[in-house]
Structure 1
Amino acid sequence: MTLLALDAGGTSTRAVAVTGAGEVLGYGRGPAGNPTAAGIVPAADAIGGAAGAALAVAGSADVAVVAMAGEQTETFREEVTARLAAYGVRRVVLDHDLLALFCSGTPSPDGYALIAGTGTVAARVVDGELDRVVGGRGWLLGDAGGGFWIGREVARAVVAALDGQTGPTALTPLVLDALGVGTGSADPDGAAGRASAIRQVVSAVYARRPVALAELAPLAFAVPDDPTARAIVVAASRALADLVDAVRVPELEGPVVVGGSVVVRGILAAPASLARDLVPPAGGAPVVAVPDGLVGAAVLALRHTGATVDAATFVRLRDQVLAAAPAPV
């Protein structure tokens, strides 16, 4: 039996083909496979392309598990099913990316998951199923501590500093450079130069999609000794800790599996000078960081066939998937 596992994200789609014993047969990658980000047909096409690459050796698969965020509509299911039928897939399962993320970090059936990328969402996992999910409400209604939230705070802090409402911040030149803003012939430190910079920042920000502010989030981690940047990052860590606390219960310990650029490449990678002020995302519980949900999608594919994924199988599968995937650039 050959199984197909896919992690369909808003930026890219990753796929692996595995045997019923958990041996990796191939890897594939494609563009965004999330219908909210890419549209239903382009997302289904991306999933089909990644699946074809992963099945280059095996040729066909019996069962496919697609891990994804957002609404799993019947129309999207039909489009994906049609693409995967070309590879012999008879059964398509759409699973939540949070569950796949959790299963990428541990073979345990119980614990917690946190994704903090552009947005934020946390979950409690019990007996291998999502028991409670909090967050994921989007940039307008939630996602505190995520990339958009941090990026917006960075932009607001720079505008306030340029406007003289607050003191100077090392974030200002970074943001101006990121947005391609200059002060022209005006004195950059004078009133005219600051006014010109504010106008350009405002124009640049409002000319883009709101969620594009997430692109400014890494700047907050780039100057850890700047008081303004530090305050933003500390507040973000507190918001993420609150999100995990919202799903935690005393009777369930378990690991906390985390993913997403903000928490993995930002908070967990912060220098010691900053880390001492950050609120841990899981209190004293063990934290496991994973790059994505692809390993977990493969675990779920095996479980959907009735297979038991013990610790040894999980480690072998994880190591093979990570070895098959190209190194990030």
Structure 2
Amino acid sequence: MTELVATTPGLYPLPDWAKDELSDLKGHQKGDLISGDEGGEIVDAYQRARTEVVDAQVDARLDRIVEGQLRWDDMLAHPLTVHDNVETGGIVRYYDNNNFYRDPQVQGELTASGDVAAELESVDADADELQAVLPGPYSLADLATDEFYGDEAGFLDAIADFLVGEIEQFPAHETLFLLEPSLVENEPADDANEHASEVIDRVAAATDANVVVHTYWGAVPERTYAHLMDADVDAIGFDFVTDADESLYNINEYGTKDAIAMGLVDGQNTLVESPETIRDRVDWVLENTHTDFDLAYLTSNTELFYLPVNKFEAKLGALGDAATLAEVDA
């Protein structure tokens, strides 16, 4: 039997009240926001919003609870954009969505900041339910501009070391999702695939939690996927919304881990999938792969930031309900 675990890759939409309140507060404290040193009123507003999205996950009966990453205005680049040695440059567009973010320009040594750890510490959830979320090292390096290390391989190593330092400050957690869409969108050069896998492995080794490398915006190219399989992680995540056939091909051609993260819910489309539809998609994956999975994470393919709050909450509920329907034969 395959154990089904309902979860998400995080990066949630701000509650509507928080958008208005924080917009007004940030307008008066722009200088503090670049360094991540928000004033007390901003910290309080984020904490109230954080409590709201944690409660929404509990109400939806998700098996893993994320912090929500509501402060991550620059999405996956956030851990760098709040760093003292990073200058936030102009507005850029990441990947294939219609949102725009600041360009993190690394101008000094990347030492651990503890910023993400502090967010996790504030989540009211037991350790066996808590799921941490970070950009994977390859994607974070891909989204940043190096003005200090001077070498692509050295910069990727520095990013990995930075993430290891962040993880080492985390409270106890059950699962870590490393989000790696750049493996799809901007695959490593042939001679860099092995290094990309090595740094993912290094970051994963920094925690005792189960580590999921979640990929999306399509299927990972074959050569990159084959190298990714060398990383000692517990599961790889697949975007079955954008490219189900190629994702299935990678699994059957190159194998995968004993656990899998299935991106079955569309993180950008407001159409809410029913629990039955999600379970049909689970069945399709299980019936068409050659792997007997011990565990399957049921999740959205991408972050849920792009959705209206009511649709976001409805999709949480659908994932929770899908995981609690009758058990599936592996």
Give the TM-score normalised by structure 2.
0.32
Which is higher, the Rg of structure 1 or of structure 2? 1
Give the TM-score normalised by structure 1.
0.32
Which is richer in helix? 1
